[in-house]
Amino acid sequence: MVDLISIENLEPLKEIIAQHKEEPGCIMPILQETQGAYGYLPIELQKVIADELNVPLSEVYGIVTFYSQFTLVQKGKYKIGVCMGTACYVRGAQNVVDRVERELGVVVGQTTEDKKFTIEATRCLGACGLAPVMMINEDVYGALTPDKIPDILAKY
Amino acid sequence: MKKSIEELRQIGKEKLDRIGLRVGLEAKTESKTQIMVCGGTGCHSSSSHILIQNMKDELKAHNLDKEVEVIQTGCFGLCQKGPIMIIYPEGTFYSHVQPSDFKEIVEKHIIGKEIVDRLVLDEIKADPNDGLNKLEFYKKQKRNALGNCGLIDPECIDEYLALKGYEALHKVVTTMTQDEVIQEILDSGLRGRGGAGFPTGMKWKFAKSAQNDKKFVVCNADEGDPGAFMDRSVLEGDPHVIVEAMAIAAYAIGADEGYVYVRAEYPIAVKRLTIAINQAREYGLLGKDIMGTGFNFDLHVRLGAGAFVCGEETALLNSVEGKRGEPRPRPPFPANEGAFKKPTVLNNVETLANIPKIIREGAQWFANMGTDDSKGTKVFALGGKIANTGLVEVEMGTTLREIVYDIGGGIPNEKAFKAAQTGGPSGGCIPTQHLDTPIDFKSLAQIGSMMGSGGLIVMDEDNCMVDVARFFMDFIVDESCGKCSPCRIGTKRMLEILNRICNGEGKEGDIEKLEDLAKALKAGSLCALGQTAANPVLSTLRYFRPEYEAHIKEKKCPAGVCKNLITFTIDPAKCVGCSLCAKKCPVNAISGEVKSPFVINQEECIKCGLCLQTCKFKAIDKK
């Protein structure tokens, strides 16, 4: 994993904005790259983006909260994305999510207290041949059953 | 450096000398064997990229890296059996190849000229060569849109050129007028593969006749239907076909700029598309004065950010413009007022993938395939309870039975087919009695489903249709953008009712309420997401009404899925007291003395079903 930049350091953000500022519809790529660099999009960063692009903060906030990939809060070190696409669902993805939630003591959308894991129910990952599937950061685990979960989590 | 058509053809010819053995030609270079390994998302997830590196290293160690090439290619479609490897010229088909298998393949197959038996599927055990033509999975398929997937290296423009790549663009810009191009597409009968099935040529015609000095071509690669992955596979396996098709569309309507809007969940597709665009620019196939004709066109990639509604064309355009991805009222249609208020053509990935071949082979070639209503071939993403999960491309008019049984290999574990879901969250379920319906746009609509983007999820007797309808409604509630009240509130109310039914709290009149809400959604929503949101409920009600009634009246889930309506018990007559279930139970709800019958504490049981899977004596009852 790439080290995330602290939100105290605004220089990289300004660089990202400068790079895209002239493109039409530039706010999406700016938000995407900013989240990539800082890990999340807190209001402090949104303010800078709004100022630099000369648009109201409400517009930036409206976009950030519209798209599910943008997050206002910091996520855990490991993001567990359990695929809830149709193919995975009919092959028992719900039982997989249930087990992950129980093992970690938090539910989908939440982060464990030690900031280690965040559980997310993702949309189709496109690996339907391996259903049900989950990803932990970049690692893909396929053909899951609930009893495989504890061993997989133990690797992290 | 910019290349002339003669130079491009020369590059293609030289490359063909090298890769021709994949299409039955003789190799005219030192490369006598080519090993194709699938690098699509499914196989990549199973570490096919590590396998490729291992193979290359091993060949180098044997000093064979000149005459044996290892090439990462696109999706072969048979994802269930991945990672897949094909060795040419023989066409030996290996499946489930692990990164650790490299040594055996190099030593036994490449050096020893012997087949590695354990990597051959049973069906072709006797002779694994030319597997693509022998496996049942491929026999009824016609791969057009997927034609180059699995055949070429998607990161190499020269391989695309070798197989007539960019010839269609050359033909269009040097010999055809804009109207002739549009007429060709109209004559082919090609309809949009993204969902609605609108005739592609008509879209182009409208955009061409719109008067403006600036126009756009946009490719919709925001493949949102959970369970469909054909667009991803085309982008991963044959990205240049999209670049070429978009350039053709741009020429036809008079556009000079384009966007490809791709889901951010598809990192490999984004990477290969970006490589393709850069290569095309380098050869002068994008940019200014393309092929010396004065035609200008360039492309940008835009990433989605996880909003299903952005698959809807006007919502997608808002997102491209950097706004919330909410749909716009139509008219004005994008052909008149699209991206940045300029005339815009929007086509889906699979639609575009058909274009260059239609131009090269002629409209008639395409129109000769399919049915009266729907021409050509269609890619389906087979998933769920089916033996061969993967991508299949068949002629329109193929029956569901042929797809599920002949190509898909039927339902695993000796279970019975219950329904196939097509069209994703906007579509419906097709029950057994319609298995023999020839599939096209019209016939699917008649039986209460829709083509959609081609997701085809098979369900067996263990799937509860009420639960499936609830699943799709849950998805829609999450993804409704909130702009129109019928969709924002109506889907929420429908989900509450469905949740209630699944939890055993369904009431008399709930079914009628669902039907009422469905009507309001259809009539009162602005975009297709809301208008079709009730389809999964309506189609399951149409074919599986007794299942709803069992949930509501008898408080039973006949398929044994809805957790509040089932109980697990241990049959003392069958239990031998092996204690295995108690050890597996994640909540320690099972107790007992070894060698005497165990008991499940119903208060503790979370109904995960692990005991049922674990028990070797069939002592667990699910009711």
Q: CATH number for the domain including B547?
A: 1.20.1440.230
Please identify, among B346, B367, B388, the residue that sits at the C-terminal boundary of a domain.
Answer: B367
Q: Are residues A110 and A54 in the same domain?
A: no
Main-chain dihedrals φ then ψ at residue A9, nearest 5 degrees: -90, 105
Distance between CA atoms of residues A125 and A131, nearest Å: 10
Distances B201 to A88, B42, B204, B354, B620 between C-alpha atoms, Å: 36, 34, 5, 12, 59
Å from A41 to nearest chain B CA?
13
Q: Which residue of B has its CA nearest to A87?
A: B384
Contact B228 A125 (CB under 8 A): no
Contact A123 B308 (CB under 8 A): yes
Whether B301 and chain A come into contact, CB under 8 Å, resolves to: no
Q: How confident is the model at residue A52 (pLDDT cuts 50, 70, 90)?
A: very high
Query: What ipTM was predicted for this assembly?
Result: 0.91
Helix residue ranges per DSSP H, B64-125? 102-104
| Residue of A21, A35, A86, A139 to mutate, testing the B interface (most B Cβ within 10 Å of its Cβ) | A86
What's the pLDDT tens digit per position in A54-113? Answer: 999 999 999 999 999 999 999 999 999 999 988 899 899 999 999 999 999 999 999 999
Distance between CA atoms of residues B41 and B44, nearest Å: 5
Query: Which residues of chain B are under the pLDDT cut of 70?
Result: none
Contact A25 B322 (CB under 8 A): yes
Q: Are residues B187 and B253 in the same domain?
A: yes
Give the residue from B238, B242, B239 showing the smallest Cα distance to B168. B242
pLDDT of residue B298: 97
Distance between CA atoms of residues B160 and B162, nearest Å: 5
A and B: number of Cβ contacts within 8 A: 142
Burial group, residue A6, by CB count within 10 angstroms (0-12, 13-18, 19+): exposed
Residue A2 pLDDT > 70: no
Angle (deg, nearest 10), helices A57-66 and A43-53: 120
Residues in A closer than 8 angstroms to B606, CB to CB, are 98, 102
pLDDT of residue A130: 84
Whether A49 and chain B come into contact, CB under 8 Å, resolves to: no
pLDDT of residue B608: 84
For chain A, helix, strand, coil in percent to 5 are 45, 10, 40
Q: Are residues A92 and A27 in the same domain?
A: no
Cβ(A80)–Cβ(A125) below 8 Å: no
**B428-431: strand order across its sheet:** B390-395, B377-384, B455-460, B417-422, B428-431
Whether B568 and chain A come into contact, CB under 8 Å, resolves to: no
| Domain-located, residue B175 | yes
Q: Are residues B270 and B350 in the same domain?
A: yes
Q: Which residues, at least 6 apart from B527, have a Cβ–Cβ distance to it below 8 Å?
A: B309, B312, B314, B315, B327
Residues in B closer than 8 angstroms to A24, CB to CB, are 321-322, 340
Q: Report the relative pairing of strands B295-303 and B287-290 from DSSP bridges.
A: antiparallel
Whether A70 and chain B come into contact, CB under 8 Å, resolves to: yes
Question: Which residues on adjacent β-strands are paired with residue B543?
Answer: none
Å from A88 to nearest chain B CA?
7
| Domain-located, residue B503 | yes
Q: Are residues A97 and A138 in the same domain?
A: yes
Q: What is the full DSSP assignment across B203-245?
A: HHHHHHHS--S--EEEEEE---STT--HHHHHHHH-HHHHHHH
Which range marks the domain in which residue B81 is found?
32-139
Please identify, among B513, B528, B554, the residue that sits at the C-terminal boundary of a domain.
Answer: B554
Contact A87 B608 (CB under 8 A): no
Question: Would you state the structure tokens that stand for residue B200, as one six-digit string?
Answer: 């592609």
pLDDT of residue B264: 86
- Domains in chain B: how many in total? 5
Q: Are residues B511 and B382 in the same domain?
A: no
Find the farthest-apart pair of alpha carbons in chain B and give their distance in angstroms, rounded: 87
Distances B133 to B50, B148, B565 between C-alpha atoms, Å: 28, 16, 48
Residue A1 pLDDT > 60: no
Cβ(A78)–Cβ(A118) below 8 Å: yes
Q: Are residues B165 and B255 in the same domain?
A: yes
Whether A52 and chain B come into contact, CB under 8 Å, resolves to: no
| Domain-located, residue A95 | yes
Contact A32 B381 (CB under 8 A): no
Residue A125 pLDDT > 80: no
Does the predicted TM-score (pTM) go above 0.80? yes
Contact A128 B303 (CB under 8 A): no
Whether A53 and chain B come into contact, CB under 8 Å, resolves to: no
Distances B476 to A89, A112, B183, B465, B532 between C-alpha atoms, Å: 15, 28, 38, 17, 10
Which range marks the domain in which residue A42 is found?
11-66
| Domain-located, residue A99 | yes
Cβ(B195)–Cβ(B314) below 8 Å: no
Q: Are residues B293 and B425 in the same domain?
A: no
Å from B351 to nearest chain A CA?
19
Helix residue ranges per DSSP H, B532-608? 535-549, 580-584
